[in-house]
Amino acid sequence: MSKFEFPPSIKSRPVWGTLEPRPGKHHLMIAEAEGAEAILEIATPDLMAKTHLIFIAKGTDYGPKLEALNPMQFRETPTYGSAVQRIERVLSDAAMGLQLYLTGTEGMMGQVMQAAVTAGIPHTAIQTEHRGSVARRMQCVHCKGITEDVEMDPFQCSHCGLNLFVRDHYSRRIAAYQGVCIDAEDPGNVPAPKGIYE
Amino acid sequence: MTIQFNDETFREDYSFKNSPWAIKRFPFPFDKDDYMYSVNMEPHRGGREGSVFQNRFDVDEHYVSEMRDRALVLDNDPLRCQSLPHMTLAGWDLLELIMVAKSEDYPDLFELHRDGNRWRWVNKPMGIDDTFTFLDEATLPYGPMEYITRQAQGDWAVLDQRDDNLWMDAGMITTQADWSLDFDIGMNFFEWHAPVPLAHEKGIFVRALKFLLNIQQGAPARRLNWTMTVNPLLDTSPENYHKWGIQKTTLTPENIGAKQHLRVELQTFYRLPRSNAMVFPIRCYLCAFQDLMTVPKWGRRLHRVIRDLPEELATYKGFIDNRPMMIDYLSQFDDGLPTSPGIWPDLDTEPQLQK
């Protein structure tokens, strides 16, 4: 229900997987909104006893269900912005062999992947699974400002106000897709926005 | 040979122009009457005397003005020049490569005097005479890559090689055909080429990467690429597209010959000695349609290439809306006669326009 099959795309676009429990002494799970369902599907008492679980609720009420899994450490935060300092701290303290599980929107997973790679977590220790909103984190190529949770194409840059179309070109370093002015050659001619995958 | 440097602009009043010398040596990119992507790589070991292929890094009449334009771009947007922390050594490799090549190929314009690590660099056209310590960043006003590429025409992508791939980890990019270094930095070869249509399906990038990974020191390679630009605008960046995109709509049947430019990139590939990185210089040459039409062979051929180009490519290269007007203009210079193979103008052997 919360899973979405992304259409085939270009080679810079990230491809997300499906979480599975892995062996190891240390596990960090970060779930955002409907991502909670992916955690509930893989959780076992043994795994959760070795897991630090951070849940970014974004207005959903999965918190009590996740807490009932009895993770070694549990933290619920309302937004990614209120979780990011904790995530960076946990990543910088990570023990060798830490297994990282990310599930939620592309914007959250992209940002944590970037933070994890910066902290020296090997790529092979990171699993991802997309759940919930298919909104994108977009960078305006003109003003460089980032607009979170973009669902419609085209959309208006939340920083400079230009009308941008949503490209599939994706930067892992910025953890964002690229937005480019749609009416540069015909100012004011902006098509009616529709859902990105409609 | 002494080069007379033009005093010209690539913005606002667009006073850029090519002399008859520059037109004749323009790297026309079509070796036959149609075009499709190919790896089209060849060794970069000189070329015809006076051609843009003759020297390692071609210097022409636009040099000084192009460097002035680059400085303006960087003042406005310093993110056009970036280098990830592990790329500094590659920057020194590049500085050495350019200084050695320029001083050997153009001894009347550039001098390099080396005494151990104490180097003196003289750039006469730009009025620079600097002494510094090789591999000591504190002795230069910029990082080594930025320092030398502020004095070398064309864009410079510096690629790290690891995991059997090339990574866009540094660059000086101010004369680009609509791609963003700031967005693409850190990407691998397939990722930064992701938006290019058709070529992935044809296996072009897999073959090209395989070729590039095997380039050895002292054995550089080259290829030509091309697109279209209205007005001689070097900085066709995505960053500024909302400002320059509108210029594409200013073409008319009357001004197209002067305003529409064929934009050709001479791309070369060098292995760097200490870092094992690759440098990928992308040198941009612009030529107005009306100047190209002074070469009868190029007039005939450009018409046929543009007329028959697949729609996806005309769209990707950003001239699909103007293509009908281009074809109308170019058809006046195509009399249907056959053309000689190869890119050269062949002015002495090809017939004059028969209409």
Beta bridge partners of A164: A155, A181
Task: Give the best residue of B183, B189, B209 to mutate against chain A (max A CB count within 10 A).
Answer: B183
Candidate from A11, A167, A187 with C-beta closest to B200: A11
The answer to whether the Cβ–Cβ distance between A10 and B240 falls below 8 Å is no
Share above pLDDT 90 across residues of chain B, in percent, rounded to a whole number: 95
Torsion of CA B243, B245, B251, B257, to 10 degrees: 90
Residue A85 domain-assigned? yes
Whether the pLDDT of residue B72 is over 80: the answer is yes
- For residue B242, the chain A residue with the least C-alpha distance is A184
DSSP conformation letters of B135-196: T-GGGSSS-HHHHHHTTSSSEEEEEEEETTEEEEEEEE-SS-BS--HHHHTT-BHHHHTTT-
**What is the per-residue pLDDT for B355?**
82
Residue A62 Cα distances to A30, A38, A100, A103, B333, angstroms: 13, 11, 20, 14, 71
Nearest to A169 among B195, B242, B245 (CB): B195
| Count of C-beta atoms within a 10 Å radius of residue B252 | 8
Last residue of a domain, one of A77, A96, A130: A130
Q: How many CB atoms lie within 10 A of CB B13?
A: 7
Strands of the sheet containing B260-271, edge to edge, are: B42-43, B221-230, B260-271, B278-288, B155-162, B165-172, B81-83
CATH code of the domain containing A60:
3.40.50.80
The answer on A61 and A98 residing in a single domain is: yes
Distance CA B98, CA B110 (A): 11
Q: What value does the mean pLDDT take over residues B102-117?
A: 98
Q: Is the Cβ of B200 closer than 8 Å to some Cβ of chain A?
A: yes
For tokens 């700031």, what's the residue?
B182
3-state secondary structure of B255: coil
Whether A65 and A157 share a structural domain: no
Residue A12 lies in a domain: no
Residues A140 and A113 in one domain: no
* Per-residue CA distances from A129 to A15, A34, B33 (Å): 9, 11, 49
Return the residue of B nearest to A164 by Cα.
B242
Domain co-membership, A67 together with A162:
no
Q: pLDDT tens digits for B86-102?
A: 999 999 999 999 999 99
B308 to chain A, any CB pair closer than 8 A? The answer is no
Contact residues, chain B, for A178 at CB < 8 Å: 180, 183, 238
The pLDDT of residue B38 is 82
| C-alpha radius of gyration, chain A, whole number | 18
Statement to judge: residues A117 and A92 lie in one domain: yes
Note whether A45 and A114 are same-domain residues. yes
Mean pLDDT in residue range B48-60 = 97
Kindly state whether residues A87 and A180 are assigned to the same domain. no
**Residues of B taking part in catalysis:** 223
Chain B residues closer than 8 Å to A142 by CB: 238-242
Among partner residues A169, A173, A185, which is closest to B194 by beta-carbon distance?
Answer: A169
Residues of A in contact with B321 (CB under 8 A): 185
Q: Is B187 an interface residue toward A (CB < 8 Å)? A: yes
> What's the domain count of chain A?
2
Give the nearest partner residue to B239 out of A142, A167, A187, using CB atoms: A142
Q: Name residue, tokens 């850190």.
A: B186
Instruction: Name the residue among B186, B190, B248 with its Cβ closest to that of A173.
Output: B186
| Per-residue pLDDT at B337 exceeds 80 | yes
Searching chain A, which residue's CA lies closest to the CA of residue B240?
A142
**DSSP assignment of A120-171, as one string?**
T--GGGEEEEE-S---EEEEETTT--EEEEE-EESEE-TTT--EEEEEEEEE
> Does A20 fall in a domain?
no
| Among B residues 46-75, those touching chain A with beta carbons less than 8 Å apart | none
**Interchain contact, B241 vs A184, CB within 8 Å:** yes
Alpha-carbon torsion, ordered A21, A23, A25, A26, to 10 deg: -40
Share of chain A above pLDDT 90, in %: 97
| Judgement on whether residues A119 and A80 belong to the same structural domain of the protein | yes
Identify the band that residue B39 occupies on the pLDDT scale cut at 50, 70 and 90.
confident
Question: Which chain B residues are closer than 8 Å to A174 by Cβ?
Answer: 183
Say what the pLDDT of residue B198 is: 85
pTM of the entire predicted model = 0.94
DSSP β-ladder status, A155-156 and A163-171: antiparallel
Domain boundaries, position A98: 27-130
Q: How far apart are CA A90 and CA A97, in angstroms?
A: 14
**Contact A181/B242, CB-based, under 8 Å?**
yes
Residue-wise pLDDT tens digits, A103-151:
999 999 999 999 999 999 999 999 999 999 999 999 999 999 999 999 9
Which structure tokens are listed for A93? 């303290």
- CB contacts, 8 Å: B187 with chain A: 12, 171-173
Same domain, yes or no: A103 and A147: no
Asked whether residue A86 is assigned to any structural domain, the reply reads yes
The reported pLDDT for the residue numbered B1 is 57
Same domain, A50 and A144: no
Q: Same structural domain for residues A96 and A120?
A: yes
| Residues of chain A found within 8 Å of residue B193, distances taken between Cβ atoms | 11
Q: CA-to-CA distance for B318 and B236, rounded, in angstroms? A: 11
pLDDT bracket for residue B208 (50, 70, 90): very high
A153 within domain boundaries: yes
Segment B30-41 shows an average pLDDT of 90
The mean of the pLDDT values for chain A is: 96
Q: Both A47 and A95 in a single domain?
A: yes
Read off the pLDDT of residues A168-187 as tens digits, 9 standing for 90 and up.
999 999 999 999 999 999 99
Q: CA distances (Å), A100 to each of A27, A94, A97, B97, B160, in order?
A: 6, 10, 9, 43, 27
Q: Name the average pLDDT for chain B.
A: 96
Binary contact (A181, B193; C-beta < 8 A): no
Does any domain span residue A14? no
Answer for the pair A90, A28: CB distance below 8 angstroms, yes or no: yes
**pLDDT interval class at B200 (50, 70, 90):** confident
Q: Cα–Cα–Cα angle for B54, B236, B249, nearest 5°?
A: 120
- What mean pLDDT do residues A69-88 have? 97
Q: Is residue A9 part of a domain?
A: no
Q: Which of A130, A146, A176 is the C-terminal boundary of a domain? A: A130
Q: Which residue shows structure tokens 């000695």?
A: B273
SS3 of residue B284 by DSSP: strand
Specify the pLDDT at position B37: 83
Tell me the shortest Cα–Cα distance from B240 to chain A, in angstroms: 6
For residue range A17-65, list pLDDT tens digits in order. 999 999 999 999 999 999 999 999 999 999 999 999 999 999 999 999 9
Q: Which of A78, A107, A130 is the last residue of a domain?
A: A130
Answer yes or no: is pLDDT of B137 > 90. Answer: yes
Residue A17 lies in a domain: no
Banded model confidence at residue A2, pLDDT cuts 50, 70, 90:
low
- The DSSP secondary structure of B7-65, one letter per residue, reads ---SSTT------HHHHHT-----SSS--------EE-S--STTSTTSSSS---TTHHH
- In angstroms, the CA A43 to CA A28 distance is 12
Task: Return phi, psi of residue A6, to 5°.
Answer: -75, 140
Determine contact: A187 vs chain B, CB below 8 A: yes
